[in-house]
Structure 1
Amino acid sequence: MDPDKIKFIKNDRFAAYLGIELVEVEDGYAVVKMEITDDHLNGVNTVQGGVIFTLADFAFAAASNAKGLVTVGINANIAYFKPPKGKLLIAEAKEIASSRKLCNYSVDIFDEDKDIIARFNATGYKRNK
C-alpha cells in the first residue's frame, strides 16, 4: 500500500468508529474487514444493513482513490442476500470499468465462513485536484 495514496482514506473517522480496517489496497482494488460487535446489530439481532453498506462503501473508496485521484461516489446500490454468520465481515472491491472522469466498482461482502452475504455496486466521479 502506498501511504501517500491512501492517507485520507486512513483519516475516515466514521470507518474507524465502526472498527473497519484496511487489509489490502492496490490501484482499483481493496479488501477491508470489520469485527462485528453488539453495537452493529439491529433490533432483530442481525447486522444492521447500514453497517454492511458502510463497509462496502469504504472498500470502494479505498480502491477507487488508490490510483491517486480524489474519487467520490455519485451512485451506489446494494443487494443483501442473507445475514452473516460469525463475528467478521470482509469486503472486496474491484474496478469494473474506468474512464477519464467515471469509474464503476463491484464490492462483494463476505462473512467469516467466506459466504457472500451482499453485493454493492458504485459509480465514482474523479475530481480535479
Structure 2
Amino acid sequence: MDDKLIKLLKNDRFATFIGIELVKMEPGYAVAKMNISKNHLNGVDMIQGGVIFTLADFAFAAAANASGHVTVGINANIAFLKASKGKTLIAEAKEVSVSKKIAHYNVDVFNEDKDHIAQVSVTGYKKSE
C-alpha cells in the first residue's frame, strides 16, 4: 500500500473534524467508524444524513485509494434504510467492479447493533498519475 495515499486519507481534515476513524484499509475494501455525539444530530434528534453519507464516502475513498491509484467519487447514490439512535456507525466499503479508469463500490452503513442504516453505491474515477 502506498504510504503517500495513507497519509492523504489520514490528512482528511473534515473526516478528522467529525470524528471518523479508519479501521481497516486494503485494495478494494475498507472499514471506517465514528462515534456519534449530539453534534451529529439534526433538528429532530436523528443522525444527520450528511454525517452518514460522509462516513460512507470516506470508507469508499479508503477502499478505492488503497490500490495505489488516486480515485475520486464521480457519482453516489444513497438509500437511508433505517433511522439510528445508536452511539456508533460503521461503514464497510467493497469493490464491485474495476476497470482502467472506472471503479464501482457498495458501502453499507451499520450501527453498533448491526442494524443496516444506509446503503451507498459509488462510482469512482481513477485519476492519471
Same fold (TM over 0.5): yes
Q: % of aligned pairs identical?
A: 65
1:17 counterpart = 2:17: yes
Query: Does the CA-based 8 Å contact 2:47-2:85 persist in structure 1?
Result: no
What are the equivalent positions in structure 2 for 1:13-52 lying under 5 Å apart?
13-52=13-52
Structure 2 regions of 5+ residues with no counterpart? none
> CA 1:2–1:115 in 2, change beyond 3 Å: closer, same or farther?
farther
Aligned CA-pair RMSD: 1.1
Structure 1 regions of 5+ residues with no counterpart? none
Amino acid paired to 1:88:
T
TM-score (norm 2): 0.96
Runs of 4+ in 1 over 3 A off after TM superposition: 1-5
Partner of 1:125: 125
TM-score (norm 1): 0.96
Deviations 1:44-74 (A, max 9, x none): 0000000000000000000000001000110
> How far apart are the structure 2 equivalents of 1:76 and 1:5?
22
Return the offset for 1:40.
0.2
Partner of 2:94: 94
Return the offset for 1:2.
5.8
Aligned length: 129
